Amino acid sequence: MEQLREHEPQPERRPPAGGLPTEAVADVAAVAGDAAARAAAIPAAAATVTVTVKTTGTTSTRIVATPDTTVGEVMAQACHDLRIRDPQGWALVANGEVTVDGWVLRELVEDGELTMRLVKRPEAGG
């Protein structure tokens, strides 16, 4: 909706009082059709997005959330669902990069769906 407002056309100048528009007569049906096509081309904002978070090919959780959901909130839900006992050190990787807790899903999702991998960085020592 905000995007539509930004692109709202400016009001046309009124013709001088008593005068008549001097523009060429437009085909009303063509103008209406063109406007409808342009409106249809504007993508509607999705009310929810679907995020699949997986650890392996057989263990995953499917989370439906609003686009303003943060990665931190997705992380907390995924760790709960996937029974990650010690969430410290785990990260969500999407589109080949580690995501940050404060990011929101709107910034990551393009077509209403997103797959993320919940991973840790294996280590050993002592």
Partner 1 sequence: MPIVCADARLAAAPRYGRLYIPLGTLVTVWEFLRLNGSRGREQLAFLAGRAVVDGSAQVTCCVLPVTSANGGYVALTSHTQTALILDTLEARQETFLMAIHTHPDGGGERAGPSHSTIDDHGVALTPDDGVFSAVIPHYALGSPFRFPDGSTIYERVDGAWCRLGTDEVDERIVVHGDTLRMVPAGAR
Footprint on this chain of partner 1 (rule: CB under 8 A): 48, 55-66, 68-70, 73-74, 77, 81-86, 89, 91, 93, 96-98, 117, 119-126
Nearer to partner 1, 38 or 120 (CB): 120
Residue 103: Cβ-neighbour burial (10 angstroms; 0-12, 13-18, 19+): middle
Nearer to partner 1, 7 or 121 (CB): 121
| 49 beta partners | 65
| 71 beta partners | none
Give residue for tokens 């439906």.
64
Nearer to partner 1, 11 or 125 (CB): 125
Q: Is 70 helix (H, G, I), strand (E, B) or coil?
A: strand
Closest approach, Cβ 110 to partner 1, in A, equals 19
